[in-house]
Amino acid sequence: MTDSTALQYKILNPATGQVEETFETATDADVAAALETTQAAYVEWAARPMAERVAIAHKIAELFYERKEELGRIATREMGKPLSESIGEAEFCGDIFKYFADNGEKFTADQEIESFIGGKAIIQRRAVGPLLGIMPWNYPYYQIARFAAPNLVLGNTILLKHAETVPGSALAMQKLLDDAGVPAGVYQNLFATHEQIADIIADPRIQGVSVTGSERAGSAVASLAGKHLKKSVMELGGSDPFVVLDSNNVSEIVDTAWATRIENTGQACNSNKRMIVAEGIFDDFVAGLVAKAKGLTPGDPADEAEGTFAPLSSRAAAEKLHEQVQDAVSKGATLHVGGELHDGPASYYSPAVLTGITPEMRAYSEELFGPVAAVYKVADDAEALKLANDTEFGLGGSVFSADTERARKIAEQLEVGMTNVNAPGAESFEMPFGGVKRSGFGRELGPLGMDEFVNKRLLYIAD
């Protein structure tokens, strides 16, 4: 029997700490029906001409644009993202669906390869079957879109288990796809328990699983997927280096560093969690960050009043971040500003600037998932590179310098899945996203995003 108490799907507004709505978890009968339906739907969906799937994907994009404000308010209510960012996220989802609709035919076109045994050899890209997606709360629409868009266009079907803290966004996504004409069973939201998820992965009808989330969640799911010989894609944590070798305009680079770190209240996997700055500009850089953080007060993320900051997604998240910062301070780090855990039950944690972090501190090796600018001083490029790579994570990284070639030389040596020169990242629907080391494996978005859950079938025709 499934332990239905393992998870509780609920809308808990982090700006107030109040539970506003709860939802029943799926029954075992619900899960069994979903598995049967997704398999039946796959047979019909994959057999359709791609042009029909593309037309529906275009409609999905249109609805994201039309409903962006409605969707934004749902996300802001249940996970605390500033409203303008929530609306922007919904717009970005429209861009993602449009991109794969526009390029699906090209990305899956037959590819003839050279044959040394005569005849004709062709690589074909075909759907593989029903997939399971396990998605996080921090970008409740975008995380689904980058997984669902290429796979729906390709012809796969999807069971989607969203984070238990964003059920409103999960249901809004289901309704949007239904309204766009996605056939019944092709995309199904499930408020599943952990035990049910294990059963779904084990089911022979499921052909793959995609996870965006913590290392712990990724490790648990990847082990199950491996046990049952299922393909998996993992986008896990990150502790991305933001390396500043020099700057002709420290104020400008501070603006970039702060805007990147504070996006989504610091709750982004590929945020610049470690700022590594040359000693010649270090003091000015830190002073600039402190000026940005100083005097900010808690505010309603739906209003975004000037001089305010949004809550973290949950009280537990705020408390964990506070513990990490206090651990560093107790061991000699300097907290220049912020770092205040505000009274509960809301989830406010004031944006902070932290320096003097050393390896014995939790902040050195753990991901700081919140608005903390951790800044490190380095003497030269070699020290910057060594520090940048001294992490178990490997999602992204960036290097800044007035000398582009100097920055590129360091960027080329970063042990990451996405490396950037004079930009904090390349955030766009055509840019592949993913990491190495403990940040996971596989890629989403761009042409590589349609090349994960696909049967790269060989068709050989003899002379």
Q: Rounded to whole angstroms, how far apart are CA atoms 4 and 25?
A: 7
Q: Quick check: is 192 in a domain?
A: yes
Residue entry with tokens 């902070």: 352
Examine the domain organization and report whether 278 and 219 are in the same domain.
no
Examine the domain organization and report whether 188 and 334 are in the same domain.
no
Asked if residues 148 and 176 have their Cβ atoms less than 8 Å apart, the reply is no
Of 221, 289, 280, 233, nearest to 261 (Cα)? Answer: 289
Examine the domain organization and report whether 259 and 207 are in the same domain.
no
Q: Quick check: is 454 in a domain?
A: yes
Q: Quick check: is 210 in a domain?
A: yes
Asked if residues 168 and 176 have their Cβ atoms less than 8 Å apart, the reply is no
Strand ranges of the sheet holding 455-461, from the earlier edge strand across to the other edge? 111-113, 120-126, 455-461
Instruction: Identify the bridge partners of residue 111 per DSSP, sorted by sequence position.
Output: 123
Q: CATH no. for residue 95?
A: 3.40.605.10
Q: CATH no. for residue 417?
A: 3.40.309.10
Q: Quick check: is 434 in a domain?
A: no
Examine the domain organization and report whether 390 and 326 are in the same domain.
yes
> Which DSSP category does 433 fall into?
B
Instruction: Identify the bridge partners of residue 324 per DSSP, sorted by sequence position.
Output: none
Residue of 235, 263, 367, 452 with catalytic role = 235
The total domain count for the chain is 2
Examine the domain organization and report whether 455 and 392 are in the same domain.
no
Q: Is the previous residue joined to 345 through a cis bond, with omega within 30 degrees of 0? A: yes
pLDDT of residue 411: 98
In the annotation, is 235 catalytic? Answer: yes
Q: Quick check: is 2 in a domain?
A: no
Examine the domain organization and report whether 53 and 169 are in the same domain.
yes
In the annotation, is 269 catalytic? Answer: yes
Examine the domain organization and report whether 250 and 142 are in the same domain.
no
Asked if residues 363 and 374 have their Cβ atoms less than 8 Å apart, the reply is yes
Q: E strands, 61-173, where?
A: 111-113, 120-126, 130-134, 157-161
Examine the domain organization and report whether 223 and 295 are in the same domain.
no
Q: Rounded to whole angstroms, how far apart are CA atoms 209 and 197?
A: 10
Examine the domain organization and report whether 418 and 320 are in the same domain.
yes
Examine the domain organization and report whether 202 and 132 are in the same domain.
yes
Residue of 85, 164, 269, 415 with catalytic role = 269
Q: E strands, 65-147, where?
A: 111-113, 120-126, 130-134
Q: Quick check: is 3 in a domain?
A: no
Examine the domain organization and report whether 138 and 34 are in the same domain.
yes
Asked if residues 388 and 397 have their Cβ atoms less than 8 Å apart, the reply is yes
Q: Quick check: is 324 in a domain?
A: yes
pLDDT tens string, the chain, 463 residues long: the values are 334 445 899 999 999 999 999 999 999 999 999 999 999 999 999 999 999 999 999 999 999 999 999 999 999 999 999 999 999 999 999 999 999 999 999 999 999 999 999 999 999 999 999 999 999 999 999 999 999 999 999 999 999 999 999 999 999 999 999 999 999 999 999 999 999 999 999 999 999 999 999 999 999 999 999 999 999 999 999 999 999 999 999 999 999 999 999 999 999 999 999 999 999 999 999 999 999 999 999 999 999 999 999 999 999 999 999 999 999 999 999 999 999 999 999 999 999 999 999 999 999 999 999 999 999 999 999 999 999 999 999 999 999 999 999 999 999 999 999 999 999 999 999 999 999 999 999 999 999 999 999 999 999 999 9
Q: Quick check: is 406 in a domain?
A: yes
pLDDT of residue 6: 59
Asked if residues 219 and 253 have their Cβ atoms less than 8 Å apart, the reply is no
Q: Measured at the alpha carbon of residue 398, what is the angle toward residues 396 and 401, in degrees to the nearest 5?
A: 170
Q: How many CB atoms lie within 10 A of CB 455?
A: 12
Q: Rounded to whole angstroms, how far apart are CA atoms 139 and 155?
A: 24
Examine the domain organization and report whether 397 and 329 are in the same domain.
yes
195 lies in which domain range? 9-236+439-461
